[in-house]
């Protein structure tokens, strides 16, 4: 059957067709929908792990137990999973093991730009790179075959463009299940003590030689000769850009980007006058192809950009091909800054921290928007879990004493479960002090409201229609009890929609500067709790700007600077009612 599928949908479909038994991952744009789609197939067991390291370890276990296992994550997730990856690459597999990593060139929705192909070269595991959904569907199946044939984990890399673009895919309506492989305990293969690890390292070297031979002959790597003048080495979405920008150029499309096929690349280079690499946001091919002794040319009109996603227009510009003029957007379009939603339970915590002039070590989630104007309350966002450990570091550097401003770490519920728990443990263990806030909105909002250990809603339940607010079958984590069990003595629970309570909790906590305080703010995300209350009205506004400074998208101002409420966006959360110092905002009858 022909279907129009996104790369993620195609990978899920292909994984089901080739008999994947277990899918495990941690959400992260642009990878998230892969596991959500795979879990729609009842026969495949899928779950969200608390983080990517755990996800990969679960998949290593199920693959070792004989089940074809898929693990999914975004590019930065591979950093978290790198520890098991760098050992399982030597141990190898039993049932096939494929790690899907979704890269984000141009940083549309991430904390950095990094190219996962470097991890394949680092771990010496085969890396496949589809260039459209049809290939995504095929390559996931080929990756499992390669994994089992060569006794290695394999990686499949997609970029945002491949993950979210829909193209036609020829799908099959029956799954070809190889079934579970027998499990034979083989400690010499899986117990990575030095004596075994040394032997496995040599086995991995032999495997690399076999994979290079495979790369020379596989049809995953395709030479398309269209003339002898220009030859371009490329992969993934960049192949599509090259075809569009330079339709007459010969191409070497690498469907397998690690290991490279040295002989085949040298033959291609010899067959053309000029050989170039076209890749985005990284010099992976440039470095690895040059290292094979192939001299690469610089495009006639200058190198391609080092950072960011490529487009056909950028490729054309580098090769001196005229491109249609860029159509500038219409003038005077209203500027829309990213902001927390109307009624977001994170907002009052940030307005309070801003007004207290706190130094806030932030984290990754919707609440990163606490850094945007007019909240301007967050001073760092580095990686998941860093808020709590960085707050401890700031305390060690005596920032509160030296600046007169309290340091407060702020983390979301999913991020707390991902890697905040060990950060908190480090602070407790070392006798640290300070104020740490967990913003529990009952969901992983940033990536599309997935369940997580704090609400206990499993992936299977959610795919079957469960709301994270419903009572789950899984076990929800009691954050307060966990913090107490870790040794934090001062733990308080606060309704994050109650401004007075938010202010009091934060003021009390920062006053006790020699103690460690954890405040757990609770209130559901407005995307999972969609009820709306009466919209308030504004009378005699004095244009003080306090409600405007909430940064609520439902509040604007008229020409005189007086506040106005956009009734279509307002959900009647009362944050502005509580904030107005003059009582000018109220609901009828109150
Ligand atoms: C290592 C890593 N994995 C995954 C992501 C994708 N991601 C960004 S924020 C986030 C979780 C946000 O959930 P939560 O902490 O509950 O905050 P909320 O968005 O609900 O406010 C995830 C999974 C990431 N940025 N980095």
User: Which of 3.10.20.30, 3.40.50.10090, 3.30.70.20, 3.40.190.10 is the CATH number of 537-586?
Assistant: 3.30.70.20
pLDDT value, residue 436: 98
Q: Is 414 in the pocket of ligand 1 (CB under 6 A)?
A: yes
**H-only helix segments in 193-318:** 194-217, 236-245, 262-271, 284-290, 312-318
* Ligand 1: residue whose CA is nearest its atom 25: 110
Cβ burial, residue 313 (10 Å; 0-12/13-18/19+): middle
Same-fold call for 2-217 versus 221-318? yes
CA–CA separation, 376 and 389 (whole Å): 21
To the nearest 10°, report the CA torsion of 163, 24, 439, 550: 10
Contact 115, 175 (CB under 8 A): no
Contact 91, 201 (CB under 8 A): no
Q: Which DSSP string do the residues of 24-60 spell out, in sequence order?
A: EE---TTTTHHHHHHTTSTTSEEEE-SSHHHHHHHHH
CA of 183 to the centre of ligand 1 (A): 35
**2-217 domain in CATH 3.40.50.970?**
yes
102 pLDDT higher than 90: yes
Nearest-atom index, ligand 1, CA of 80 = 1
Taking alpha carbons only, the member of 236, 237, 170, 163 closest to residue 7 is 163
Residue 195: helix, strand or coil by DSSP? helix
CA of 448 to the centre of ligand 1 (A): 10
CA–CA separation, 396 and 430 (whole Å): 11
| Pairing of β 250-254 and β 221-224 | antiparallel
Q: Is 580 in the pocket of ligand 1 (CB under 6 A)?
A: no
Quick one: how far is CA 488 from the chain centroid? 30
Q: Is 444 in the pocket of ligand 1 (CB under 6 A)?
A: yes
Q: Is 32 in the pocket of ligand 1 (CB under 6 A)?
A: no
Strand partners for 445: none
Query: What residues contact 16, with CB distance under 8 A and at least 6 apart?
Result: 38, 41, 43, 44, 175
Nearest-atom index, ligand 1, CA of 414 = 16
Alpha-carbon torsion 130, 133, 137, 138, what sign? negative
Quick one: how far is CA 309 from the chain centroid? 17
* Ligand 1: residue whose CA is nearest its atom 9: 365
Residue 435: helix, strand or coil by DSSP? strand
Q: Is 367 in the pocket of ligand 1 (CB under 6 A)?
A: yes
Tens digits of residue pLDDT in 492-511: 999 999 999 999 999 999 99
pLDDT value, residue 388: 98
Instruction: Please state the rounded mean pLDDT for residues 33-50.
Output: 97
pLDDT value, residue 335: 80
Q: Is 435 in the pocket of ligand 1 (CB under 6 A)?
A: no
CA of 292 to the centre of ligand 1 (A): 39
pLDDT value, residue 329: 82
DSSP 8-state class, residue 445: G
pLDDT value, residue 334: 81
Taking alpha carbons only, the member of 36, 217, 71 closest to residue 147 is 71
Q: Is 575 in the pocket of ligand 1 (CB under 6 A)?
A: no
Q: Is 467 in the pocket of ligand 1 (CB under 6 A)?
A: no
Residue 509: helix, strand or coil by DSSP? helix
CB-side neighbour CA atoms (13 Å) of 512 = 16
CA of 344 to the centre of ligand 1 (A): 16
Taking alpha carbons only, the member of 102, 68, 97 closest to residue 85 is 97
Tens digits of residue pLDDT in 274-318: 999 999 999 999 999 999 999 999 999 999 999 999 999 999 999
474 pLDDT higher than 80: no
Taking alpha carbons only, the member of 26, 77, 30, 75 closest to residue 50 is 26
Strand partners for 5: 167
CA–CA separation, 221 and 268 (whole Å): 12
Strand partners for 192: none
Query: Of 58-62, 104-108, 181-185, 334-338, which gets the smallest average pLDDT?
Result: 334-338
| Pairing of β 434-440 and β 407-412 | parallel
Q: What are phi and psi of 551, to 5 degrees?
A: 70, 30
Tens digits of residue pLDDT in 368-419: 999 999 999 999 999 999 999 999 999 999 999 999 999 999 999 999 999 9
Q: Is 446 in the pocket of ligand 1 (CB under 6 A)?
A: yes
Contact 27, 50 (CB under 8 A): no
Q: Is 124 in the pocket of ligand 1 (CB under 6 A)?
A: no
| Pairing of β 127-128 and β 166-170 | unpaired
- The domain spans of the chain are 2-217, 221-318, 347-522, 537-586
Q: Is 447 in the pocket of ligand 1 (CB under 6 A)?
A: yes
CA–CA separation, 268 and 288 (whole Å): 15
CA of 363 to the centre of ligand 1 (A): 9
Quick one: how far is CA 472 from the chain centroid? 25
Does 130 sit behind a cis peptide bond, omega within 30 degrees of 0 on the bond before it? no
Instruction: Please state the rounded mean pLDDT for residues 234-250.
Output: 98
- Map tokens 């996962």 to a residue: 116
CA of 79 to the centre of ligand 1 (A): 14
Q: Is 111 in the pocket of ligand 1 (CB under 6 A)?
A: yes
Fold of 221-318: Rossmann fold (3.40.50)
Q: Sheet harboring 22-25: ordered strands across?
A: 45-48, 22-25, 69-74, 97-103, 154-159, 127-128, 256-258
Q: Is 80 in the pocket of ligand 1 (CB under 6 A)?
A: yes
CA of 505 to the centre of ligand 1 (A): 25
DSSP 8-state class, residue 380: B
DSSP 8-state class, residue 385: T
Mutate to test the pocket of ligand 1, among 102, 349, 447, 469 (most ligand atoms within 8 A of CB): 447
Q: 324 falls in which pLDDT band (50, 70, 90)? A: confident
* Ligand 1: residue whose CA is nearest its atom 4: 28
pLDDT value, residue 588: 81
Quick one: how far is CA 256 from the chain centroid? 23
Q: Mean pLDDT across the chain, nearest whole number?
A: 96
Contact 165, 6 (CB under 8 A): yes
Nearest-atom index, ligand 1, CA of 454 = 16
Q: Is 95 in the pocket of ligand 1 (CB under 6 A)?
A: no
Furthest-apart CA atoms within the chain: distance in Å: 83
75 pLDDT higher than 80: yes
Q: Is 314 in the pocket of ligand 1 (CB under 6 A)?
A: no
- Tokens at 198, concatenated: 């040394």
Q: Sheet harboring 221-224: ordered strands across?
A: 221-224, 250-254, 230-234, 274-277
Q: Is 445 in the pocket of ligand 1 (CB under 6 A)?
A: yes
- Map tokens 């902001």 to a residue: 339
Nearest-atom index, ligand 1, CA of 27 = 23
Quick one: how far is CA 422 from the chain centroid? 20
* Ligand 1: residue whose CA is nearest its atom 12: 365
CA of 414 to the centre of ligand 1 (A): 7
CA of 113 to the centre of ligand 1 (A): 16
CA–CA separation, 114 and 541 (whole Å): 49
- Map tokens 């141990």 to a residue: 91
Q: 332 falls in which pLDDT band (50, 70, 90)? A: confident
* Ligand 1: residue whose CA is nearest its atom 13: 444
- Tokens at 387, concatenated: 């808020």
Superfamily for 347-522? Thiamin diphosphate (ThDP)-binding fold, Pyr/PP domains (3.40.50.970)
Taking alpha carbons only, the member of 481, 410, 472 closest to residue 442 is 472
* Ligand 1: residue whose CA is nearest its atom 15: 412
Q: Could you tell me what percent of the chain has a pLDDT over 70?
A: 100
Q: Is 441 in the pocket of ligand 1 (CB under 6 A)?
A: yes
């Amino acid at each position: 059957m022909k279907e129009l599928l996104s790369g993620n949908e195609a990978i899920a479909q292909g994984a089901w067709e080739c008999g994947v038994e277990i899918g495990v991952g941690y959400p992260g744009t642009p990878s998230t929908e892969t596991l959500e789609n795979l879990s729609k197939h009842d026969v495949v067991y899928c779950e969200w792990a608390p983080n990517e390291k755990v996800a990969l370890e679960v998949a290593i276990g199920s693959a070792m137990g004989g089940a074809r296992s898929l693990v999914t994550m975004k590019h930065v997730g591979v950093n978290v999973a790198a520890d098991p990856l760098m050992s399982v690459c030597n141990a190898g597999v039993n049932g096939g093991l494929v790690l899907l990593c979704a890269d984000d060139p141009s940083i549309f929705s991430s904390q950095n730009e990094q190219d996962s192909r470097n991890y394949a070269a680092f771990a010496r595991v085969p890396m496949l790179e589809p260039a459209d959904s049809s290939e995504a569907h095929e390559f996931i199946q080929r990756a499992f075959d390669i994994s089992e044939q060569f006794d290695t984990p394999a990686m499949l890399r997609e970029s945002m463009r491949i993950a979210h673009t829909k193209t036609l895919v020829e799908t099959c309506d029956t799954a070809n299940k190889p079934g579970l492989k027998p499990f034979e305990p083989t400690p010499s293969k899986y117990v990575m003590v030095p004596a075994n690890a040394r032997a496995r390292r040599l086995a991995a070297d032999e495997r690399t030689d076999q994979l290079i031979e495979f790369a020379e002959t596989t049809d995953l790597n395709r030479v398309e000769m269209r003339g002898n003048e220009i030859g371009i080495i490329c992969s993934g979405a960049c192949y599509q850009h090259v075809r569009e920008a330079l339709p007459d150029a010969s191409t070497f499309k690498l469907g397998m980007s690690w290991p490279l096929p040295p002989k085949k690349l040298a033959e291609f280079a010899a067959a053309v006058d000029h050989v170039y690499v076209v890749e985005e946001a990284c010099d992976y091919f440039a470095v690895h192809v040059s290292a094979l002794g192939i001299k690469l040319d610089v495009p006639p009109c200058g190198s391609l950009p080092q950072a960011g996603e490529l487009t056909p227009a950028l490729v054309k510009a580098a090769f001196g091909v005229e491109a249609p003029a860029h159509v500038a957007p219409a003038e005077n379009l209203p500027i829309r800054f990213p902001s927390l939603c109307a009624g977001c339970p994170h907002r009052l915590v940030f307005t309070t921290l801003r007004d207290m002039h706190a130094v806030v070590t932030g984290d990754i989630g919707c609440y990163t928007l606490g850094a945007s104007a007019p909240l301007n309350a967050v001073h760092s966002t580095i990686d998941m879990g860093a808020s709590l450990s960085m707050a401890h570091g700031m305390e060690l550097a005596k920032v509160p004493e030296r600046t007169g401003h309290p340091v407060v770490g702020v983390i979301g519920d999913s991020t707390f479960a991902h890697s905040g728990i060990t950060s908190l443990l480090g602070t407790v263990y070392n006798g640290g002090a300070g104020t740490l806030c967990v913003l529990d909105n009952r969901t992983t909002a940033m990536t599309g409201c997935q369940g997580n250990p704090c609400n206990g809603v499993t992936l299977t339940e959610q795919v079957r229609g469960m709301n994270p607010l419903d009572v789950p079958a899984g076990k929800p984590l009691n954050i307060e009890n966990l913090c107490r069990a870790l040794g934090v003595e001062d733990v308080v629970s606060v309704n994050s929609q109650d401004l007075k309570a938010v202010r009091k909790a934060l003021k009390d906590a920062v006053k006790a500067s020699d103690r460690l305080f954890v405040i757990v703010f609770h209130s559901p995300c407005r995307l999972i709790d969609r009820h709306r209350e009466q919209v308030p009205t504004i009378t005699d506004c004095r244009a003080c700007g306090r409600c405007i400074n909430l940064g609520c998208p439902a509040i604007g101002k008229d020409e005189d600077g007086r506040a106005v409420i956009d009734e279509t966006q307002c959900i009647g959360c009362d944050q502005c009612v509580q904030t107005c110092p003059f009582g000018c905002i109220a609901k009828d009858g109150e």
